[in-house]
Structure 1
Amino acid sequence: MAKPRGVIESIAPGSVGEELGLRPGDVLLSINGQPVRDVIDVQFYGAEEFLELVVEREGEEWLLEGERDYGDELGLSFVHPTFDVDIRRCANNCDFCFVKQNAPGMRKSLYVKDDDYRYSFLFGNFVTLTNLTADDWARLEEQRLSPLYVSVHATDLELRRRFLSRKAAPDVLDQLRRLAELNIEVHTQVVLVPGLNDGEHLSRTVRDLEGLRGRPVASVGVVPVGLTRHHPGRCRTYTSAESQALLDQVQPWRDANRNRWGSAFVYPSDEWYLVAGRDVPPARAYDGYPQVENGVGMVRRLLDEWQALKGRLPGKELRPATLACGTLIAPVLLAIVDE
């Protein structure tokens, strides 16, 4: 297997990397004797005061030495964030997997099922933790990569295995406890499928995750399954009445958590409110938006930003424009346009 190669794409002006004499096209091999596998290693091993970098340049290895002051960045951008180039593939076979619901005939990268804890740390991708190796756990212990974003779906082991179509999936509660021992914060999500992991199963999952609040679980996002016309399985989406029932089920937990801990901890995503025909909660209900990139509070943020912005719009007539959007968000955007 070829060794990971960190090809430098650019160097920030005035950065430590520029002072060391790095150039675009250099291949970073090691920092202070430690081979680098990705940008995480670069950040971790490049945080020392004294630096020895080995790079490959035009087929030869060069040793570059220098110092960095506290807070100074290396300032390096790489062609790919993980130097092995490939992303960890998902070995699960969830019926609702959004990758399997893509239309045919698009570029190959859109059909890659990823489940890579490195991308969870770097970009907030949700992962199932089902493919972690002993080396991965050793790295998590050494580098304490925090926060991570974990798709739990169900804490009942056998139910989760059926949900993921993975007979040997490890116990996610054991994994979360292990992450707690490493002081790694985790944001979790539960994607609900009608009749599979909702109802009492959801109650159990939330209770179990509440038992791990703060060590390591920081938040729980509750998200309805999303389907396209290319969905190959038998899943269905939630009705308006079911969405209302879900919101009614979750709200007492949120109220109790706020009384106990000062935050709701459990956050239904925006789809529930839109499908149920209910207004999204005010900003304070989202406790700083810990899962906004997961669609939890995104509509509220949009509405609040619009209220702050609309008074500053120019008085002249605006040009016609076309907004392409999904069907759920369309009424929200139309209301903004009408204003």
Structure 2
Amino acid sequence: MNTRTGRQSEGRIAGSVPTPARALAMLLVLGLAACAGRKGDQQAAAPSGDAASAPAAAGGVDPGLVVATLGGQPIPYKAFERYLADNSGEESTEGEQQDAIKSRLLDQFLEEQLLLRAAGRFKVAVSETEVDGYLKEIGVSEGEAEAAGGEGKEAFRDKVRQGLIVQKVKDEGVLSKVQVTPGEIEDALKKQPDMAHPARQVVLRQIMVDDKSLADRLRASLATDPSRFEALARENSIAPDRGQARMYSEEDLPVELREPLLNLQTGQVSQVLEHAQSYLVFQLVRKVEQKDADLDEVKRRIRMQIFQTKSEQALDRFVADLRKETEIRVNRTILPFNYVGDYAR
């Protein structure tokens, strides 16, 4: 479970195929992301001190089995192994690229540990009832939880609990303080006036061929009798739709084709257009009537965009502050890859 929006996909190894357990772990990540900013219904007494709020840490750990220390507190290598298994797949890259991917994952893991340590500061904890409620909400049954990992149901529930704690720390330490003012929304609307207007939509038929001379002959025939468009498309087009009418939004159309197609009149046939090494002829079936966008809905979308951007920036600053106040040492000798991450010394 990652600490930053967008970092999960960056860390995944290309070409991996999720196992059932990893697929369930991915579902948990998505579910936690959807819960951002929401408070838990029930909360147990908060643990006191950083050590109590960092489940991955363990006292008396053999120094040779420690992946890193945070403020002198050991983090077992086994905890990182589990994190790596949940967030990567079959290795399809080698060398420096693989080192970079695993280094990023270790950095993300350590940032998550920093957030777990901050739970005591914000008096954050997660009860068994909350874990049960969350698993029910995302549709994970007892049997699926039992089979989700090789270490059993309790280890899986502990992983869920840690993810919920991390989200609560984000809520308390960052998201609850992010504000979007009406002025910011109005400024954004002025800079993006198109958001207040729905994209133009048209219904088109197309003929696609890979021979310019054939395209020219078809266009000449249609200039005489546009009603034959669908029949000629069925006979000649290599496009899967075979001349069937389809609706397109303006943003669906390649930029260079937008004006020629959006300016057609109903029933009109376009000139031969070239795109992606193919030759295209279109016919406009109809234009979809535009209605003014709901201004409240537009402002809601803008507010969410601004909130997302400000939240990511605030979270980056929050994690950076945690890093500054915590001495972080990575035990590179235990790692089966060349660590090139943020904490390399």
TM-score (norm 1): 0.19
Which structure dedicates a bigger proportion of its chain to helix?
A: 2
Which structure dedicates a bigger proportion of its chain to strand?
A: 1
